């Protein structure tokens, strides 16, 4: 029975795709209302450096395209899993590519145990030997590996997004300090913003420069653009900066004072974060150093304990 598992799986996937093609998805109410907007949505400010697709993405793109065309926004939300559009914007990944990677990774984990069981069954028939493998083992292993493969890209994206957001908060601290110093030196607001955005070349500064450039082109206030960028990236610190400056108004002196205060706040937050990370690292080192002592104690006490039991 095991040699027929892989063809049966392929037949099931093909039948599923045929059913999806025969039943087109209905347009949701949100999508229909979005089409009736007289003014188009503003273009996104977050720039994405899309790298060359990996082998998993290329393998999963046809299946992901077929599913997303039929299911629309609802399917994108369901297949997106544990990540948000903000996480994907931070790591520079499109939603379609992420879904393709998830599907390919999940199908790989699902097929590998079944393929191995099929190969063992065929090898047993060729060699005229009996390789007894219970059917439940490859099936359960396929389900577990398929689920793990489907979730693994989500965990990777979330971890990379957290790291990149922390780096951007550090870049934002330098940006705020530079802008505040430029305003104190009687530089104009536009010039001060350009000085702050040009203070580095990392990913965070690239995003800040792109947002400010788009604000100049679209006749949008720079602080509003930075707040919108913070919303797209899921960065509360950037939205807080935009709100603080909006409360300060157009007065350069008040904006400089607000930025100085916010810069001190960011430095304090970073210090607290570094101290917490060092505390966690110290606890981990202490736990690792205790493990050999526990093992040596068990090594000495185990023979005496076993003697007492006898």
pLDDT tens-place string over residues 201-222? 888 888 888 888 888 887 778 8
Percent of the chain past pLDDT 70, that is, above it, reads 75
Does the pTM of the predicted model rise above 0.75?
no
Q: Residue 29 pLDDT more than 70?
A: no
Cα dihedral sign, 41-159-149-55 = positive
Residue 273 CB contacts under 8 Å (≥ 6 apart), including other chains: 166
pLDDT of residue 257: 83
The band of 1, judged by pLDDT with boundaries at 50, 70 and 90, is very low
Q: Which of 2-11, 98-107, 161-170, 211-220 is the least confident region?
A: 2-11
Q: What is the mean pLDDT of residues 28-51?
A: 60
The CA distance from 238 to 243, in Å, is 9
The mean pLDDT of 188-196, rounded to a whole number, is 83
- Tokens standing for residue 205: 């500064």
């Amino acid at each position: 029975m095991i040699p027929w598992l892989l063809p049966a799986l392929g037949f099931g996937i093909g039948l599923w795709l045929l059913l999806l093609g025969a039943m087109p998805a209905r347009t949701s109410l949100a999508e229909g209302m979005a089409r009736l907007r007289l003014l188009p949505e503003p273009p996104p400010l977050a720039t994405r450096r899309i790298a060359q697709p990996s082998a998993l993405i290329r393998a999963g793109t046809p299946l992901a395209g077929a599913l997303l065309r039929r299911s629309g926004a609802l399917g994108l939300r369901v297949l997106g899993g544990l990540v948000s559009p903000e996480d994907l914007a931070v790591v520079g990944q499109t939603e379609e590519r992420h879904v393709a990677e998830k599907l390919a990774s999940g199908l790989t984990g699902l097929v590998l145990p079944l393929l191995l069981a099929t190969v063992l069954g065929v090898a047993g028939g060729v060699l005229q030997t009996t390789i007894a493998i219970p059917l439940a083992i490859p099936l359960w292993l396929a389900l577990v590996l398929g689920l793990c493969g489907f979730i693994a890209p989500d965990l990777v994206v979330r971890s990379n997004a957290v790291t990149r957001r922390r780096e951007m908060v550090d870049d934002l601290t330098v940006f705020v300090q530079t802008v505040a110093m430029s305003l104190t030196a009687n530089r104009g607001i536009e010039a001060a913003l350009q000085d702050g955005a040009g203070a580095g070349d990392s990913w965070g500064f690239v995003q800040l420069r792109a947002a400010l450039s788009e604000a100049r082109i679209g006749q949008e206030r720079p602080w509003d653009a930075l707040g919108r960028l913070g919303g797209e990236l899921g960065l509360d610190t950037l939205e807080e900066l935009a709100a603080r400056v909006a409360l300060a108004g157009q007065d350069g002196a008040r904006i400089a004072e607000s930025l100085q205060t916010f810069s001190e706040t960011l430095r304090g937050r970073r210090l607290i974060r570094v101290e917490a990370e060092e505390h966690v690292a110290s606890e981990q080192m202490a736990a690792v150093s205790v493990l050999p002592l526990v093992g040596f104690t068990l090594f000495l006490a185990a023979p005496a304990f076993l003697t007492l039991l006898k």
